[in-house]
Amino acid sequence: MRKFLIDTDTASDDAVALLMAHRWPDVQVEAITIVSGNVPVEQGAKNALYTVQMCGASTPVYLGCPKPMLRPCQYAQWFHGEDGMGNMHYPEPQAKPQLAHGVDIIIDTIKTNPKEITLVTLGPLTNIAIALLRAPEIASLVKRCVIMGGAANV
């Protein structure tokens, strides 16, 4: 079983990735951490929780960094809609984000599962940068890192 930790800003494209990861038979999604990106972290968490709920899963979701390190927030609601999901207006998810900070969860999950975690990043890398600044030793403990990177009109 492959263990994934997914760090995301959860707009519609990331929701598809979350659905795929939860439905893939040999993947266990250990945690989802939310970073500011396409939408604010609170909306990203709501989108992730709703997606997890639609999968019939109970993967914990954690709020991470609410803003970039070096520039003001620039959301992509012009592209993804106000809710990041094309303005679907879906019901509130049943679950709420967990209380721990996403950066702490990244560090703890990697340290607890050395050389077992595939780190999947679907949004800005702010949470990852802060985790590496706080605990640089985790870099050598990650099994694999898969990054969906790039941006347009930035």
pLDDT, tens digit only, all 154 positions of the chain: 999 999 999 888 899 999 999 999 999 999 999 999 889 999 999 999 999 999 999 999 999 999 998 888 887 777 777 776 778 888 899 999 999 999 999 999 999 999 999 999 999 999 999 999 999 999 999 999 999 876 666 6
Query: 153 lies in a domain?
Result: no
Count the domains in the chain.
1
Query: 51 lies in a domain?
Result: yes
Are the CB atoms for 60 and 31 separated by under 8 Å? yes
Query: 154 lies in a domain?
Result: no
Both tokens of 86, joined, read 């094309």
| Domain region containing 142 | 2-147
Are the CB atoms for 33 and 64 separated by under 8 Å? yes
Query: 132 lies in a domain?
Result: yes
Query: 102 lies in a domain?
Result: yes
pLDDT of residue 84: 67
Query: 93 lies in a domain?
Result: yes
pLDDT of residue 129: 97
> ∠ at Cα 117 (120, 138), nearest 5°?
95
Sequence length of the chain is: 154
The CATH number of the domain holding residue 73 is: 3.90.245.10
Nearest to 77 by CA among 40, 126, 125, 127: 40
